[in-house]
Amino acid sequence: MTLSTRDTADHIYAHGLRNQWHPVVPSHFVEPGGMRKVTALGENWLLFRKADGGLSMLADRCPHRGAPLSLGKHLGDRVACWYHGVEVDGTGTVTSVPGLPGCNLEGKTLVTSLPVREVGGAILAYFGDEEHPDPVELTLPGPLADEEISAFLCYAEWEVPWRFAMENLLDPMHGAFLHSESHTMFAGDTTAKFRIRETERGYFFEKTDQRGVNFDWVELCHTGVDWVDLSIPYPPSAGPGGPFGIVGMACPVDAGRTGVFFWRYRRVSDWQRDTWRFLYKTLIEARHWEVLEQDRVILESMPADADQRENLYQHDLGVVRLRRLYQAQAGRQSKAQPVSAR
Amino acid sequence: MPETWPYLETHQTRDHEPTPYETKLARTLEDIFTKDGHGLSDVIDGLNSRQLRTPTGEPWTEESFRAEMHRLGA
């Protein structure tokens, strides 16, 4: 097993929470008949796709001597370890030990394989620890399942702890400052009052005195995968269809790296949909990217102890709540005794 | 497999670099949406009054505009 309840709560908080789904990489990163090594929740994994499109995710560790399977050969429906040729299929079962036919490793499921789903052009995997190997129910974000909504996935890799990336999303007020020189977030007041509003699946953190002008609200949703929903107005140049929304997710890669997934979506149909998609690909995507780079630059510049030495104010309630939630979850997922208690 | 981290690609939705025609059409549409309105008739009138033609040199119609947007944006 690769994810253990014996890890400390601090380790789990730093490397990503378990027993839920997380996005891993965009689907097109693993071509039919291809494989790709990825790191997620601080562990190495192998994504491996058969020619017919079927996808598997295995711990990147040969059950024989521990060599990375990602250095091995893709044999269509199996991977053969480069070191001694041990063959492992997509379920993590050893199908052949070529050096010793009939070896008792054959037929045993010795490699952790994670349940995977592909959603909106991204690969999602369920990261259970040894006590929770069966996947929790996954309810897809509404905007990604709604046929009336058109979405584009934007994926980027940042040198930041995953929780900084999430905290940034629960901090709408940065829109009016960090993104003040952008195509979408130039308008609105630079002062605001916020409130938290509970929902069945999480909570809203929203301005009490402005909506539909800037990045004015965000909803954190736990639906088997953690995601945020938010909405930002487009300028008139983007044409009909109203504001665009973002479904955001983060992949905790390790303690210092994060894969960020942003689906930019808009409720549009017919010629309006086609026109938005044309403008997006031709002109708008680059402007969205500029805004995203502003987030990356500021977050990558934050000191590692940024969240240890702060002076927070009312705008940070959404962040504080997020931290408490995640720290409590990390505590529940750890059976390790704190050092001081031994 | 090569180390690919970090993935920082500005353009992730294009299958080709926009042609000069596509860029001009997109910029003109933005100008129309900003100055003239968001209706389909605003778009057709705006393209034609700005002397922008279809790829075959014709004035735009609702039908040709829908078809072209479907080709470029679907």
pLDDT value of position A1: 57
A31 lies within 8 A of chain B by CB: no
Q: Are residues A207 and A316 in the same domain?
A: yes
A185-202 in b/e form (b: 16+ CB < 10 A) is beebeeebebeeeeeeeb
CATH of the domain at A166: 3.90.380.10
Q: Are residues A80 and A178 in the same domain?
A: no
Phi, then psi, of B33 in degrees rounded to 5: -60, -30
Q: Which of A157, A236, A281 sits opposite B8 (nearest CB)?
A: A157
**A31 neighbourhood in chain B, CB within 8 Å:** none
> Does position A77 have pLDDT exceeding 50, yes or no?
yes
Q: Are residues A281 and A320 in the same domain?
A: yes
Domain end (from A81, A97, A127): A127
Domain housing B55: 20-73
| Residue A5 located in a structural domain | no
A155 lies within 8 A of chain B by CB: yes
Per-residue pLDDT, averaged over A112-125, amounts to: 98
The C-alpha atoms of residue A49 and residue A77 are separated, in whole angstroms, by 8
Report CB contact under 8 Å: A285, B11.
yes
Q: Is the separation of the CB atoms in A246 and A232 below 8 Å? A: yes
**The pTM of the whole model exceeds 0.90:** yes
pLDDT value of position A72: 97
pLDDT value of position A337: 72
Per-residue pLDDT, averaged over A28-43, amounts to: 97
| Residue B45 located in a structural domain | yes
Please count the structural domains in chain A: 2
Q: Are residues A121 and A149 in the same domain?
A: no
Q: Are residues A156 and A300 in the same domain?
A: yes
Report CB contact under 8 Å: B10, A285.
yes
CA angle, A41 then A44 then A49, to 5° = 110
Predicted complex ipTM: 0.97
Q: What is the DSSP letter of A158?
A: E
| Residue A6 located in a structural domain | no
Q: What would the pLDDT profile of A39-64 be if each residue is shown by its tens digit?
A: 999 999 999 999 999 999 999 999 99
| Residue B14 located in a structural domain | no
Which residues lie closer than 8 Å to A259 by C-beta, 6 or more apart?
Answer: A23, A24, A25, A155, A156, A157, A158, A250, A251, A253
| Residue B31 located in a structural domain | yes
Q: Are residues A249 and A294 in the same domain?
A: yes
- In terms of Cβ atoms closer than 10 Å to its own Cβ (0-12, 13-18, 19+), residue A270 is exposed
| Residue A270 located in a structural domain | yes
**B10 neighbourhood in chain A, CB within 8 Å:** 285-286, 289
The C-alpha atoms of residue A60 and residue A58 are separated, in whole angstroms, by 6
Banded model confidence at residue B4, pLDDT cuts 50, 70, 90: confident
Q: Are residues A184 and A314 in the same domain?
A: yes
| Residue A242 located in a structural domain | yes
| Residue B27 located in a structural domain | yes
Amino acid occupying residue A118: E
Chain A with chain B: Cβ pairs closer than 8 A: 96
B2 lies within 8 A of chain A by CB: no
Domain housing A107: 20-127
B52 lies within 8 A of chain A by CB: no
Q: Are residues A161 and A295 in the same domain?
A: yes
A265 lies within 8 A of chain B by CB: no
Domain end (from A72, A99, A127): A127
> Does position A197 have pLDDT exceeding 50, yes or no?
yes
> Does position B70 have pLDDT exceeding 90, yes or no?
yes
A9: closest CA of chain B, how far (Å): 27
| Residue A337 located in a structural domain | no
Q: Are residues A146 and A88 in the same domain?
A: no
The neighbouring-strand residues paired with A113 are A58
Q: Which of A70, A274, A279 sits opposite B74 (nearest CB)?
A: A274
**A285 neighbourhood in chain B, CB within 8 Å:** 10-14
Q: What would the pLDDT profile of A245-286 be if each residue is shown by its tens digit?
A: 999 999 999 999 999 999 999 999 999 999 999 999 999 999
Q: Are residues A192 and A219 in the same domain?
A: yes
Banded model confidence at residue A342, pLDDT cuts 50, 70, 90: very low
Report CB contact under 8 Å: B73, A278.
yes
Report CB contact under 8 Å: B33, A273.
no
Q: Which of B13, B31, B69 sits opposite A152 (nearest CB)?
A: B13
Report CB contact under 8 Å: B6, A281.
no
Per-residue pLDDT, averaged over B46-67, amounts to: 97
Report CB contact under 8 Å: B66, A279.
no
pLDDT value of position A341: 52
A175: helix, coil or strand? helix
Report CB contact under 8 Å: B7, A155.
yes
**B70 neighbourhood in chain A, CB within 8 Å:** 271, 274
Banded model confidence at residue B1, pLDDT cuts 50, 70, 90: very low
Q: What would the pLDDT profile of B8-45 be if each residue is shown by its tens digit?
A: 999 999 999 999 999 999 999 999 999 999 999 999 99
The C-alpha atoms of residue A260 and residue A340 are separated, in whole angstroms, by 35
Computed over every residue of chain A, the mean pLDDT equals 96
Banded model confidence at residue A338, pLDDT cuts 50, 70, 90: low
pLDDT value of position A2: 81
> Does position A180 have pLDDT exceeding 70, yes or no?
yes
Task: Name which of A93-102, A171-180, A252-261, A331-340 the model is least confident about.
Answer: A331-340
Q: Are residues A179 and A247 in the same domain?
A: yes
Per-residue pLDDT, averaged over A200-219, amounts to: 94
| Residue B68 located in a structural domain | yes
A118 lies within 8 A of chain B by CB: no
Q: Is the separation of the CB atoms in B63 and A269 below 8 Å? A: no
Report CB contact under 8 Å: B69, A275.
yes
CATH of the domain at A86: 2.102.10.10
Q: Which chain A residue shows the shortest CA-CA distance from B29?
A: A237
CA dihedral A327, A329, A332, A333 (to 10 degrees): -100
Q: Is the separation of the CB atoms in A40 and A253 below 8 Å? A: yes
B10 lies within 8 A of chain A by CB: yes
| Residue B3 located in a structural domain | no
Banded model confidence at residue A339, pLDDT cuts 50, 70, 90: low
Q: Are residues A236 and A102 in the same domain?
A: no
Q: Which of A70, A236, A276 sits opposite B1 (nearest CB)?
A: A70
The tokens describing A44, both together, are: 């190495």
Please count the structural domains in chain B: 1
| Residue A338 located in a structural domain | no
